[in-house]
Amino acid sequence: MSVWLIYRTRFHLRSSSSCCCIDLFFRCAVLMFQREFAMRLVARPGDKLYCRLSINTQLLARVDHLMKVGKNNFRPPPKVESSVVRIEPKNPPPPVNFQEWDGLVRIAFVRKNKTLSAAFKSAAVEQLLEKNYRIHCSVHNVEVPADFSISKKIESVLQEADFSEKRARSMDIDDFMVLLHAFNSAGIHFS
């Protein structure tokens, strides 16, 4: 059974609503969004608008910009321009735990222009990852040394995987997959 979704979203729609849409079962969705939002969906590494929304959407779906729609095509005309995009979920979906993936990407894109080494030095990030690490070790009967330092462990993973000086704005899906695998292999989890 083919299911097609064609929908014009409200201009105040937030990114979280669109990502939820990808969980639905459909073959193809043709959606109209505010231009800047649409361009975030299709942005590539290095683009000014490349963000967490871009990489998460592109992880789960193929996204294409179909056309621009001027504000004068509506009555009354809105204050913003629109664009139409096509979203086709990847089938099969990528073999990744999305909660883990999104946890990593969320940290990396908080300040997408910072190096990953700097992004992971936040006290809140270190606290979360240390808690998750200790839970992982407890579940797998691994003893945590008394002098354990999560910041040293994180820096070690980033350096060994050669990501310490990279920035989220220039990393693609494959880069994040490699980084997630490196963290998970070291027992560091994001969910």
Q: Residues annotated as binding site for S-adenosyl-L-methionine?
A: 1
**59 close to 22: Cβ distance less than 8 angstroms:** no
Distance separating alpha carbons of residues 157 and 163, to the nearest angstrom:
8
Question: The tokens of 51 are what?
Answer: 């963000």
**Annotation: binding site:** 1
**78 close to 16: Cβ distance less than 8 angstroms:** no
Report DSSP letters for 84-139, one per residue. EEEEEE-SSPPSS-HHHHHHHHHHHHTTTTSBHHHHTT-HHHHHHHHHHHHHHHHH
What lies within 8 Å, CB to CB, of 8 at 6+ separation is: 31, 32
What lies within 8 Å, CB to CB, of 3 at 6+ separation is: 25, 26, 27
Distance separating alpha carbons of residues 143 and 149, to the nearest angstrom:
14
